[in-house]
Structure 1
Amino acid sequence: MTHLRQALPAAALLAALAGCTTSSPSSTSGPIEITPDASPPTATTEQGKVQAFMLRGNVVLGHESNSIQPCGSSQQYWLNTPIAARQAIAQITRPGYEPMYGEFIGYLEPAPDEGFAAAYDGRFQVKQINLISAEMLGGCQRPPHATRAFGNEPGWVIELDGDKANLIRPGQQRQQQVITSKEIVAGRQHYQGQGFSLTLTKGQCNDTMSDSLFGWQATLNWQGSNYNGCATLGATDITLSWSGRYQGTSYIDNTPVLTTTVTLNPDHSATTRYDYPSGEPSLNEVGFWQQASDNTVQVVMTQHQGRRLISERVFTFDDNRITVKEETVNGQTFSLGGDGLSLERQ
């Protein structure tokens, strides 16, 4: 089996095991639940359609480095920002590759095989900037914030907490109103209460009192008073329910021949490990994952045993298992047999 696995990609091995049975240890984990306020924007990658997600982390920008290190992670992804936003980003970027804090909505792709980006764990394609700041260096030490809008002259902050809107102004008591309706469409979010309305519109916005760039403009009417400013969406990655470890064992004639373990980490890195009950050396692959739809997840491996290899599986979640019927390796699609590969969440 070792010679077969070393000679063929994962898909080819599993195709060779087509018709074998697969089982997994029992698990007490509950089903994955993903309940965002609105459907995340979709993006089309070379590997297929995925849903963009929020990525927070420490950012380094310069001629030879455009990277983000996710909060609490050692991974580093090349950061590909929209061309239209680069001039505004350059205006707040400090010289000398000083780190900044950033929040971005986008998706992952494999790193290219040459150029500065080739040395990174992947490439994060930014669809929208939520915020980037040269001053919020401790952003990763704080929990993800809720959706909020703010402005100066006079200073004000409104934060959305569930069905409540809280307005804070210097020297005044906090005021709260119930959100009675909301409308969320591409590029615009509108929240309404009995005595207020808040509209967020996608667009670059600069805080005049800090070296920060925000991705939304805000207009607030609170009990007859009008305010204008910037805004950021809630910074929680709503796709993290997928993170965890999934495992299954393949059998031939009731004899276990291969145990496959897929681990999806909170920083969107992923690993696949192949263990052989016969005692032969394990094989390892590394890559990344991202949600493809409410019940599917794309897992892309970019290295097999330290060598570049681009493989993609799109797993479907059902009854505490993820299952896939085919795998695409370096552009070629392989069937994984009639039952496919089924892994149970641990």
Structure 2
Amino acid sequence: MTQLRRALPAAVLLTLLAGCSTSSTSPASTPIEPTHDDGASAVSTDHGKVQAFMLRGNVVLGHESNSIQPCGSTQQYWLNTPIADRKALAQVTRPGYEPMYGEFIGFLEPAPEEGFAAAYDGRFNVKQINLISSEMLSGCQRPPHATRAFGNEPGWVVELDGDKANLLRPGQQRQQQTITSKNIIAGKQHYQGQDFSLTLTKGQCNDTMSDSLFGWQAKLNWQGNNYQGCATLGATDITLSWSGRYQGTSLINDTPVLTTTVTLNPDHSATTRYDYPSGEPSLNETGFWQQGSDNTVQVVMTKHQGRRLISERVFTLEGNQITVKEETVNGQTFNLGGDGLSLKKQ
């Protein structure tokens, strides 16, 4: 069995273990089921539908390097930006591959086998720019901001905090109103209060006072006064409830034969480790993860023992564990048996 595991991908070994039982190795906490963010929606990829998510980090743009390094991470993803946004991005890009701070909504795919992007940990396909700035270099040192709109001449900022809208203007006291209704559709968000309304419309925006590009245009009416400016959605990645370590042990005749540990990191990188009770060397795979539907998570491994191998599992949340019944490896699908592979969150 273990000799086969050295030569075959994970799916093949788990197929051989089909019908064997799987047990957890320690108590688990229950993952929180994710909720949908205002700016995120399902997108179709070569590996099925996934939920677009917010990714924050340090960005480098240039001919040979278009990359994002997520905040607090050493991972680097190739940044695939929409063609329609590239002219505007070029206008705020610093020369000489100097880093900028960026926030983007999008999804991950494996890096291609050739070209500049091949050397990266994956390819992040941008669905929408939230913001990119050559001035906010300390953006990763700050916590994710809430949804906010802002403008100049005169200067103003509205920040949404739960069911409250807060207006700040230079030299004036903060004003607050309760949000009584909101309407969110693709490309547009509208918030209403007793004496204010705020409309955000998807579109490139520059506040004229900085080398920054924003992804939303804003119109505010506050107590009869009209303002126009830019906006950004809240920068929190609401899919991070999936992050953590999941583990399960496969048994044959009540004897442990293989322990599988899947780790989903906050930067959306992922690892899979296979350990053997016999003491043989562990096997390791690396890749990425992203939410599928409300109760599924897609885990894609792109390297097995450091060599390129594209394998995909879509785990389903069931109580306090995640379960998968098949795996696709380099385009070929393997059944993982009647019970599949079940892992508990540690």
Is the shorter-chain TM-score for this pair beyond 0.5, marking a shared fold? yes
Matches within 5 A, 1:16-95: 16-38=16-38, 40-95=40-95
SS of 1:293's partner is coil
Alignment partners' CA distance in 1, 2:165 and 2:37: 15
Match in the other structure for 2:125: 125
SS of 2:292's partner is strand
Matches within 5 A, 1:301-320: 301-320=301-320
Tell whether the 8 Å contact from 1:323 to 1:342 is kept in structure 2 after alignment.
yes
C-alpha distance after superposition, 1:158-194 (max 9, x if no partner): 0000000000001111000000000111100000000
Match in the other structure for 1:177: 177
Matches within 5 A, 1:86-105: 86-105=86-105
Match in the other structure for 1:114: 114
The amino acid that maps onto 1:273 is: R
Tell whether the 8 Å contact from 2:157 to 2:169 is kept in structure 1 after alignment.
yes
The amino acid that maps onto 2:151 is: G
Distance apart, 1:44 and its partner CA: 1.1
Distance apart, 1:25 and its partner CA: 2.3
Alignment partners' CA distance in 1, 2:33 and 2:110: 27
Match in the other structure for 1:250: 250
Matches within 5 A, 1:325-336: 325-336=325-336
Distance apart, 1:60 and its partner CA: 0.4
Unaligned runs of 5+ in 1: none
Change (3 A) 1:89 1:236: same
Alignment partners' CA distance in 2, 1:121 and 1:15: 28
The share of aligned pairs that are identical, in percent, is 84
Match in the other structure for 2:289: 289
Matches within 5 A, 1:121-160: 121-160=121-160
C-alpha distance after superposition, 1:47-93 (max 9, x if no partner): 11100000000000111000000000000000000000000000011
Distance apart, 1:253 and its partner CA: 0.8
C-alpha distance after superposition, 1:296-315 (max 9, x if no partner): 00000000000000000000
Tell whether the 8 Å contact from 2:28 to 2:344 is kept in structure 1 after alignment.
no
The amino acid that maps onto 1:138 is: S
Tell whether the 8 Å contact from 1:159 to 1:167 is kept in structure 2 after alignment.
yes
Match in the other structure for 1:212: 212
Alignment partners' CA distance in 1, 2:6 and 2:30: 35
TM-score (norm 1): 0.99
Change (3 A) 1:166 1:67: same
- Over aligned residue pairs, what C-alpha RMSD do you find? 0.9
Change (3 A) 1:39 1:254: farther
Match in the other structure for 1:14: 14
Alignment partners' CA distance in 2, 1:37 and 1:345: 24
The amino acid that maps onto 2:14 is: L
Unaligned runs of 5+ in 2: none
The amino acid that maps onto 1:177 is: Q
Distance apart, 1:37 and its partner CA: 4.9
SS of 1:86's partner is helix
Alignment partners' CA distance in 1, 2:36 and 2:127: 18
Query: For structure 1, which segment, 28-37 or 267-276, has the greater mean C-alpha deviation from structure 2 after superposition?
Result: 28-37
Alignment partners' CA distance in 2, 1:34 and 1:9: 30
Aligned residues: 346
C-alpha distance after superposition, 1:137-156 (max 9, x if no partner): 00000000000000000000
Tell whether the 8 Å contact from 1:22 to 1:341 is kept in structure 2 after alignment.
yes
Distance apart, 1:38 and its partner CA: 4.0
Alignment partners' CA distance in 2, 1:124 and 1:170: 38
Distance apart, 1:101 and its partner CA: 0.2
Match in the other structure for 1:2: 2
Tell whether the 8 Å contact from 1:32 to 1:320 is kept in structure 2 after alignment.
no
Match in the other structure for 1:163: 163
Change (3 A) 1:74 1:37: closer
TM-score (norm 2): 0.99
Distance apart, 1:40 and its partner CA: 2.6
The amino acid that maps onto 2:220 is: L
Match in the other structure for 1:273: 273
Distance apart, 1:36 and its partner CA: 3.7
Alignment partners' CA distance in 1, 2:345 and 2:9: 24
Tell whether the 8 Å contact from 2:31 to 2:242 is kept in structure 1 after alignment.
no
The amino acid that maps onto 1:107 is: F
SS of 1:112's partner is coil
Tell whether the 8 Å contact from 1:301 to 1:309 is kept in structure 2 after alignment.
yes
Distance apart, 1:276 and its partner CA: 0.4
Distance apart, 1:16 and its partner CA: 0.3
The amino acid that maps onto 1:208 is: T
Alignment partners' CA distance in 2, 1:81 and 1:40: 16
Change (3 A) 1:192 1:37: farther
Alignment partners' CA distance in 1, 2:186 and 2:72: 30
Distance apart, 1:284 and its partner CA: 0.1
Change (3 A) 1:137 1:39: closer
